[in-house]
Structure 1
């Protein structure tokens, strides 16, 4: 059985999606999947499904939902075992057994971990490709068709934060490879969605600066400063302040690392294209984390 959470929820076996249609059962399945192979207590399920106002029959209702979920996953009534045998009763809770490769989130996280190992060895091209392959697994926002309770929402926020960190790491690697023209559209979209995210802002500043657009790069810093003040009552970090100062002074360390130009191949024609044409092509390929 294949489980998918990187977009709409699905649980597919033999080409048939056996994910439940009832909202609370979908919510329960989603929480079990984000805690795959770990026990989720009945108390946690009650908190997730009813937050702070559970009915007196909450525990009985959880038992019923689990029974129905087992039948739904099996697709074969009460005697089915393919999906039902994955949902185990543990002491005061339940555990959904997921084999390696069955859950798209596990595969995605494995690819990101592999990419980090590759990048740690200095293999920038391979690392960037691996991170892009991981990004391509997403079919939309995480569990986009499930209404989360407090526990599911908290778990989803951690995954979304890690997803954005992986995207930022790939963009940083692409900047090291001299792909600043290609990144402009994507970075504009991302900084619009995440106006207080300092790493994305710094990536946009560097990409603009290396495209010969120093004024736009400085403007990106000021937009970040205003957003931080308005939303968080904060100021840009010293690291961003130093980057801003380097741009004002046109410091040589902001230029491409030595040897990058000679290493470029497929992106070389884009890197030396006129700024207007390059920006137009980058804008045409802008992507959004919302899928």
Structure 2
């Protein structure tokens, strides 16, 4: 119940939506009474006498529903999304600032998103969103390391990320770039080949256009690979089409 309300902090969630989230598909004798019982227990858990006036609570009953009356940035999930978005926006203009924002964002994590918050549709959809944004934030973080010239830290992070997500092409592509910049062109090309084999064996697909382009650039020892802009795909020009 707390997770569902926190995902919409500051906005009311109807009893019907709460019941659907908490007991989807299961019959409950009296959902209103069940929600009231949950709310009573929840208020005891989140009560903070040092922060709230006597008799008040962050969990409020409203017409046909409940509301978690806290600012949105009091919820770590919202803070993470905000910091990650700010970090991504700073990557191409102020990579040092991007690095700070993204590190702060990722330090908010303590494990899988909403791990013990039930199997309701809202919670599972939010967990999937957070997990996807976390991967993107890691991409941006290692890109920031590369943009400021810290290839050693980027390689250390990327080796772990590639091991955990071997089919995630962006991690592979960034690790190839980092290896190339540190004089390990052979390792970068080996990584491309092993990733290509894995994509073929497990998904039946070839490496994507961006990964193939990075491979071609490394083979050609393209001077642009040493520039900060090499880590930002949106700044790449479309590859030429063969006639």
TM above 0.5, yes or no, is yes
After superposition, what is the alpha-carbon deviation per residue over 1:157-182, rounded to whole angstroms, capped at 9, x for unaligned?
A: 10121122122112112112221122
Which residue in the other structure is 1:31 paired with?
A: 4
2:154 corresponds, among 183, 197, 218, to 183
* Alignment check: 8 A CA contact 1:201 1:221 kept: yes
- Residue 148 of structure 1, CA deviation: 4.0
SS in 2 for 1:133: helix
Which residue in the other structure is 1:60 paired with?
A: 33
* Alignment check: 8 A CA contact 1:87 1:94 kept: yes
1:81 and 2:47 correspond: no
Which residue in the other structure is 1:111 paired with?
A: 83
Aligned length: 226
* Alignment check: 8 A CA contact 1:183 1:207 kept: yes
- Residue 129 of structure 1, CA deviation: 2.0
Distance 1:43 1:201 in 2: 45
1:194 and 1:47, CA in 2 relative to 1: closer, same or farther beyond 3 A? farther
1:156 and 2:130 correspond: no
Higher relative contact order (CA 8 A, sep 6+): 1
Distance 1:54 1:80 in 2: 37
Which residue in the other structure is 1:246 paired with?
A: 217
Distance 1:96 1:257 in 2: 44
* Alignment check: 8 A CA contact 2:9 2:72 kept: no
1:70 and 2:14 correspond: no
- Residue 109 of structure 1, CA deviation: 3.2
2:107 corresponds, among 126, 131, 136, to 136
Distance 1:59 1:226 in 2: 55
Q: Normalising by structure 2, what TM-score?
A: 0.79
Distance 1:47 1:229 in 2: 41
**Greater share of helix residues, 1 or 2?**
2
- Residue 91 of structure 1, CA deviation: 4.0
Which residue in the other structure is 1:220 paired with?
A: 191
Which residue in the other structure is 1:235 paired with?
A: 206
- Residue 208 of structure 1, CA deviation: 1.4
Distance 1:49 1:230 in 2: 40
Segments of structure 1 that go 5 or more residues without pairing to the other structure are 1-27, 259-291
After superposition, what is the alpha-carbon deviation per residue over 1:79-100, rounded to whole angstroms, capped at 9, x for unaligned?
A: 9634x3x222344332211126
